[in-house]
Amino acid sequence: MRRAASVLAAAMAASLLLGCGGAVMQVAALDDVERARAAPATQEGAKLAPEAYARAEQERRIALEEHAAGDDVGAVLHAQRAVAAYGHALAVVRLARATTELADAQKTLDDATTQVQAIEGSRAQLEREAAELDERVRLSRERLLPASSAPATGEHEAARLVAARALAVEARLLCGAARLITADAAGLADADGEIAKLDGRLAMGPRPAPIDTAARVRARCLDVLTRARRASGDDAGASDALLSELSASGGWDPARDERGVVVTLHDAFRGAELGADATTRLKDLGRVAAAHPGFAVQVVVHDAVPSRPKDDADARRAGAAVQALVAGGASAGRIKPELAGTRAPLVDPGDAKQRARNERLDVVFIASGK
C-alpha cells in the first residue's frame, strides 16, 4: 500500500509537471536515458554487472514503449528509473574494479612477503653453515698440533705441567657440555676414557709433562661437542642472541667460548656458602635459563688455592649455586656442576697478590637444540 501511494503521488506530480510543458520534460528524460546508456563506464557494466544493466535496459524499453503509447507520465517515471538503474550498474562496476584491485594488491603483498621469508630463511641457513665452517676450522687447527714438543727443563717444564692440567680441565668441560646436549653423544665414552687416563698421569706430576696428549684429548672432546651440536640441530644464532641479550642487560660481562655463553662471578662465596649478592645474581641467571629452555647450564667452581684432602667445600659451593639457579626457575635436570679446582687459573697461582682472582664461579649456557 505504501509503495502504491508513493507511485500514485509520483504520477500525480509528473502529471502536474506534464501539464506545464510535459512533452519537453519527457524528451529531456529520454535524452538523459540515452546519455547514461552511451557512457563507456555504463557499457562496461553490461559485462561486469549484467543483472543491474539488464534492469536498466528493461526500464528504458518500457519508457520508450510508454512514450510511443502517448503515456507521458509513465515514460518519464520509467526513464528516471532507467537512469537510476544505469547509475547502479556503474556503482557495481566500480565496486568490482576496486575489489579486483584490492585482490591484486593483496597478492602482490603476499608474494613480497613470501620472497622476504625465503630470503630470511636463506640468510639463516648461510649463517648456520658459516658457523659450522668456523667450528671445523677451529677443530682442524686443534688437530694440527705438533706430534711432540721439544724437551724442556726447569721452569719451562713446570709451566708445561700447569698448561697440561688446564687443557685436561678444558677437555673435561667440553665433554661435559656435549653430555648436556645428549648423554650418548658419539665418541663421548672413548673421550671420557682418555680424560681419565690423562688425569691419572697428571696426578703423578710427570716429567716431561704430557702437554701434547692433553692438547689432543682437548681436541677430541671439542670434536665430540661439535658433532653433538650438529646432531641435535643446534642453531648457532641462539647463542649469539643470548650473548647480545645478556650484554644489553648490563652488569654481566658475558663471554663466548666453545661451550657457549659464559657468565663469571667473582667473590661469590663466603667459605663454602654463597654470598647474598651472588645468590641474587644466580637467581637472576636462573630466570634467564627458564626463559631460554633450549639451553642447558654448566656450573664450574674454580679455586685460588688447592683444597685440603677430603675437603668437600667445592662440592657444597657447586650445590649451593645449583640451588640458587633452580630457585630462579632453571630446570634442575638441565644443570650439571663441575669442580675445576686450581687447574684452570686466570693468573699465576704463585702471585700472592693476584691469585685470589682465580677463585670464581662460571655459569655456562650451552645451546642444546632441544
* Positions of E strands within 117-246: none
d(CA 346, CA 344): 7
pLDDT score recorded for residue 13: 47
Longest dimension (CA), the chain: 133
∠263-230-298 over CA atoms, to 5°? 25
d(CA 302, CA 332): 21
Average pLDDT over residues 114-118: 87
Average pLDDT over residues 191-208: 93
Residue 12 has pLDDT above 50, yes or no: no
pLDDT score recorded for residue 121: 82
3-class state of residue 360 by DSSP: strand
Rounded to two decimals, the pTM is 0.60
| Number of Cβ atoms within 10 Å of the Cβ of 100 | 11
- Please write the tens of the pLDDT for every residue from 235-259: 668 899 999 999 998 889 999 999 9
d(CA 225, CA 176): 9
- Please write the tens of the pLDDT for every residue from 132-163: 887 777 666 555 554 556 555 667 888 888 89
Q: Which helix (H) or strand (E) holds 337?
A: strand 335-341
Q: Which residues contact 251 (CB under 8 A, 6 or more apart)?
A: none
H and E: helices and strands count for the chain? 11, 7
DSSP 73-101: HHHHHHHHHHHHHHHHHHHHHHHHHHHHH
Nearest to 240 by CA among 82, 126, 92, 131: 131
- Please write the tens of the pLDDT for every residue from 16-34: 444 444 566 656 767 777 7
Mean residue pLDDT of the chain comes to: 83
Nearest to 325 by CA among 314, 313, 315, 337: 337
